[in-house]
Amino acid sequence: MEGDAQISHPAMLIGDPARAAMLMAMLGGRSLPASDLAAIAGVKPSTASEHLARLTSAGLVTATRSGRHRYFTLSGPDTANAIEALSAIAPRHTVQSLAQSKSAAQLGFARSCYDHLAGAAALAIADRLIHDEAIAPLENGANGTVAATGHPIFTALEMDVEPVVASRRPLVRGCLDWTQRRPHLAGALGARLFTSILEHGWAERARTGRGIRFTALGRSELRRLGVVLDDESSPAAR
Amino acid sequence: MEGDAQISHPAMLIGDPARAAMLMAMLGGRSLPASDLAAIAGVKPSTASEHLARLTSAGLVTATRSGRHRYFTLSGPDTANAIEALSAIAPRHTVQSLAQSKSAAQLGFARSCYDHLAGAAALAIADRLIHDEAIAPLENGANGTVAATGHPIFTALEMDVEPVVASRRPLVRGCLDWTQRRPHLAGALGARLFTSILEHGWAERARTGRGIRFTALGRSELRRLGVVLDDESSPAAR
DNA sequence: CGCATACTTCGGCCGGGGCCGAACTGTTCC
DNA sequence: GGAACAGTTCGGCCCCGGCCGAAGTATGCG
């Protein structure tokens, strides 16, 4: 009777709180072993194993085994995109504890979003590129192109933008930011930029979670390039 | 323990087959009464009423009452976006019956997608605009701008593009097309274009479902403007 | 080889939620 | 007013699926 795609299936999988917590953790971009995901979701390993089996068989998640561990990741950008789209319509959790509000503030400043950077810092970098007309202004869901492949930020990070342009993946993709209510830089370029920033030691991942901390080197380099990270100065002026 | 948005809540709501069918129907862009949605979902009115109550209280759907009917619509572009993103990762249903394959072919050619046009016809129009450099090439999720507000297609449809540009809504938004695997024209411009096409009688909605049929007037006008709708000529060359 | 660790499979418990029919409210039309 | 129709609320049924603990498989280490 219906000629449409069966959206209820993936939605049902994401709709369980334990699985949703695992998927949100994987949105951080890192590969995580089953035991960590079990702890994150707050369930026993046996339960987590069942959840992960369903997620992999549905193609939302891929597993690679290394030794006696199995590491899980989101299967691709489409999956990450669906999760992001859902978080845009999800109810905002009301912050209760001080620890929560502090970590929320940190996430609002800089965090990883699957394979790219999100938060206020990501917007600051993107705004610089837009201001210099290296890329067009971002809109949620649309596709842009790279006008200036030799922008100082790209050269400072030794990024070879050409092969990125040649890839079939959407290049400059806006990704609606749930903390800032503005799209940030995703897509192939956003992913390349993020890995370069990590490789050059401008920033590093938090040991746990999705948080990203910019190093002194990264801050000074970015300041030199005209990007100001006002980490402390603007205390959560939501 | 979690500082993230509770994506499981909306996902759980979409994850029920009956509710998903209703939401997909509403993706057609029309306001539908509860009884129609019950028939579409294949449940009794009482069950449908419960589902719709949950969807409205979660803010996914808005209801407006007119007489003894209550008409339901998706609450906004964010909601539509989440549903589209899910359909991109949903398993493709394997077509069995001839009637299904015919209706699927028609949907692939032209259908409504919440408030804009989708399918091969939508891509043909967007490609024309891109070719004439009125808009930048679409990428899924990114945002573009309108370069030529006086493009012949806009003037033929008597579209006033200026106020659309001024609106805060993402302007030129790529929206991943599940039949074509390419983004089509969504956003404020896509919505405006679609309503203009309907108002000028270039196309009309099917009595039921999401199908769109282009009229003889619409076809000739578009051909004159350099857009060829090869409806019959290319028989589902997937 | 044997012990520890990482993960999976199985059996069983239990609660949530989807479904319906029946009864109730409200609107339209004659 | 009364009949017809749209929609909602309520009570009850039942099954799906999430949870666990215990047992089973595989890998790594001493």
Same domain membership, residue B139 and residue B199: yes
**pLDDT tens per residue across span A74-86:** 998 889 889 988 9
- Of the partner residues A7, A144, A172, the one whose CB lies closest to the CB of residue B83: A7
Q: Which nucleotide is nearest to B66 (CA to C1')?
A: C27
Nearest to B141, CA basis, from A36, A45, A176, A222: A176
Tell me whether residue A219 is exposed, middle or buried, using C-beta atoms within 10 angstroms of its C-beta: 0 to 12, 13 to 18, 19 or more.
middle
A78 with A186, same domain: the answer is no
Count of A–B CB contacts within 8 Å?
241
Tens of pLDDT, residues A80-106: 889 988 988 988 755 555 555 666 667
What CATH number does the domain containing B59 carry? 1.10.10.10
Low-confidence ranges of chain B (pLDDT < 50): 1-3, 232-238
For the ranges A126-130, A171-175, A194-198, A219-223, which has the lowest average pLDDT? A171-175
**Is B230 inside any structural domain?**
no
**Domain end: B82, B112, B143, which one?**
B82
- List the domain range (segments joined by +) for residue A141: 99-224
> Residue by residue, what is the 3-state secondary structure of chain A?
CCCCCCCHHHHHHHCCHHHHHHHHHHCCCCCEEHHHHHHHHCCCHHHHHHHHHHHHHCCCEEEEEECCEEEEEECCHHHHHHHHHHHHHCCCCCCCCHHHHHHHHHHHHCEEECCEEECHHHHHHHHHHHHCCCECCCCEEEEECECCCCCHHHHHCCCCHHHHHHCCCCCEEEEECCCCCCEEEEHHHHHHHHHHHHHCCCEEECCCCCEEEECHHHHHHHHHCCCCCCCCCCCCCC
* Chain B contact set for A93 (CB, 8 A): 2-6
Tokens of B114: 């919440």
C-beta within 7 A of nucleic chain D, residues 57-76 of A? 67-68
**Residues in B touching A140 (Cβ below 8 Å):** 81, 141, 143, 170, 173
58-117 on A, CB < 7 Å from strand C: 63, 68-70
Same domain as A211, residue A104: yes
Distance from residue B15 (CA) to nucleotide D4 (C1'), in Å? Answer: 36
Asked whether strand C has any atom less than 7 Å from the CB of B35, the reply is: no
Count of structural domains within chain A: 2
Q: Is residue A126 part of a domain?
A: yes
Q: Are residues B143 and B219 in the same domain?
A: yes
How high does pLDDT run on average in chain A?
80
In a domain, A92, yes or no: no
* Whether residue A38 has pLDDT greater than 60: yes
Structural tokens at position A44: 């026993």
Residues B103, B70 share a domain: no
B131 plus B59 within the same structural domain:
no
Residues B187 and B124 in one domain: yes
Q: Residue A229 domain-assigned?
A: no
Indicate if CB(B155) is under 7 A from strand D.
Answer: no
Q: What local confidence, expressed as pLDDT, does residue B144 receive?
A: 62
Which of B82, B108, B128 is the last residue before a domain boundary? Answer: B82
Which positions in chain B touch A17 (Cβ < 8 Å)?
6, 8
Name the domain boundary from A82, A113, A137: A82
- Decide which of A128 and B98 is more confident: A128
Site from B27, B100, B140, B182 to mutate, A interface, most A CB atoms within 10 angstroms:
B140
CB contact under 8 A, B17 and A1: no
Furthest-apart CA atoms within chain A: distance in Å? 61
pLDDT, position A235 = 42
